[in-house]
With several copies, the nearest count.
Chain A
Amino acid sequence: MMPSPGLEMRAERHHAMAVDGEQWLHMYRQMLRIRRFEEQVNELYMSAKMPGLAHLYIGQEAVAVGVCEALRRDDYITSTHRGHGHCLAKGASMDRMFAELLGKAPGYNRGKGGSMHIADPDTGNLGANAIVAGAVGIATGAAFSAKMRGTDQVAVCFFGEGALGQGVLYEVMNMASLWKLPVIYVCENNLYTEYTPYQEVLAGEILDRPRAFGIHAEAVDGQDVRAVYFAARRLVERARAGEGPAFLLCQTYRYYGHHVGDIDRSYYRPREEEEFWKKERDPIRLLGTWLLQERLADERILEAIAREVQAEVEAALAFALNAPYPIPDEVAQHVYADKAEP
Chain B
Amino acid sequence: MSTLTKRNPEGASADRVITMAEAIREALAEEMRRDPQVFIIGEDVAEAGTPFKVLKGLVEEFGPQRVIDAPISEAGFTGIAVGAAMTGMRPVVDIMFGDFLTLAMDQIVNQAAKVHYMSGGRWRAPIVIRATMGATLRKAAQHSQSLHAWFAHIPGLKVVLPSTPYDAKGLLKTAIRDDNPVLFFENKAMYSTRGYVPAEEYTIPFGVADIKREGRDLTIVATSRMVQVALEAAERLAELGIEAEVVDPRTLVPLDRKTLIESAKKTGRVLVLDEGHQSYGVTAELAAAITEGAFYYLDAPVVRLGAMDVPIPFSPPLEDLTVPDPEKVVAAAKALCGRA
- Tell me the A residues contacting B by CB distance below 8 Å: 51-53, 76, 78, 103-104, 107-117, 119-121, 126-127, 129-146, 148-149, 155, 162-168, 171-172, 174-175, 178, 193-196, 200-202, 267-268, 325-326, 328, 330-339, 341-342
**14 cross-chain CB contacts under 8 A:** A111-B318, A112-B118, A112-B318, A117-B141, A127-B119, A131-B100, A132-B72, A137-B78, A148-B89, A193-B71, A195-B44, A325-B316, A334-B120, A335-B311
Check A119 against B315 for contact (C-beta < 8 Å). no
Which residues from chain A contact B332 at a C-beta distance below 8 Å? none
Complex partner residue of A336 from B82, B116, B141, B314, CB under 8 angstroms:
B116
Check A145 against B89 for contact (C-beta < 8 Å). yes
Complex partner residue of A131 from B81, B110, B308, CB under 8 angstroms:
B110
Closest to A110 in B: B120
Check A141 against B82 for contact (C-beta < 8 Å). yes
Complex partner residue of A103 from B89, B158, B310, B317, CB under 8 angstroms:
B317
Check A107 against B120 for contact (C-beta < 8 Å). yes
Which residues from chain A contact B308 at a C-beta distance below 8 Å? 331-332
Task: Report B182 CB to chain A, min CB distance, Å.
Answer: 10
B33 in the interface, Cβ–Cβ < 8 Å? Answer: no
B142 in the interface, Cβ–Cβ < 8 Å? Answer: yes
- Tell me the B residues contacting A by CB distance below 8 Å: 39, 43-44, 47-48, 51, 65, 69-73, 75-89, 99-100, 103, 106-107, 110-111, 115-124, 126, 137-143, 155-156, 158, 179-180, 308-311, 313-318, 321-322
Check A171 against B48 for contact (C-beta < 8 Å). no
Check B322 against A201 for contact (C-beta < 8 Å). no
Closest to A122 in B: B122
Task: Report A292 CB to chain B, min CB distance, Å.
Answer: 41
Complex partner residue of B121 from A107, A111, A148, A342, CB under 8 angstroms:
A342
Which residues from chain A contact B316 at a C-beta distance below 8 Å? 51, 103, 325
Which residues from chain A contact B85 at a C-beta distance below 8 Å? 141
Task: Report B158 CB to chain A, min CB distance, Å.
Answer: 7
Taken together as a complex, chains A and B put the C-alpha atoms of A267 and B314 apart, in Å, by: 31
Complex partner residue of A142 from B87, B137, B313, CB under 8 angstroms:
B87
Complex partner residue of B118 from A113, A165, A200, CB under 8 angstroms:
A113
Complex partner residue of A109 from B76, B82, B119, CB under 8 angstroms:
B119
Which residues from chain A contact B156 at a C-beta distance below 8 Å? 335-336
Which residues from chain A contact B122 at a C-beta distance below 8 Å? 108-109, 119-121, 342
Check B314 against A113 for contact (C-beta < 8 Å). yes
Q: A109-B119, A336-B158 are in contact. Are A141 and B309 (CB under 8 A)?
A: no
3 A-B pairs with least C-beta separation? A137-B79, A141-B83, A171-B76
Task: Report A179 CB to chain B, min CB distance, Å.
Answer: 9
Task: Report A201 CB to chain B, min CB distance, Å.
Answer: 4
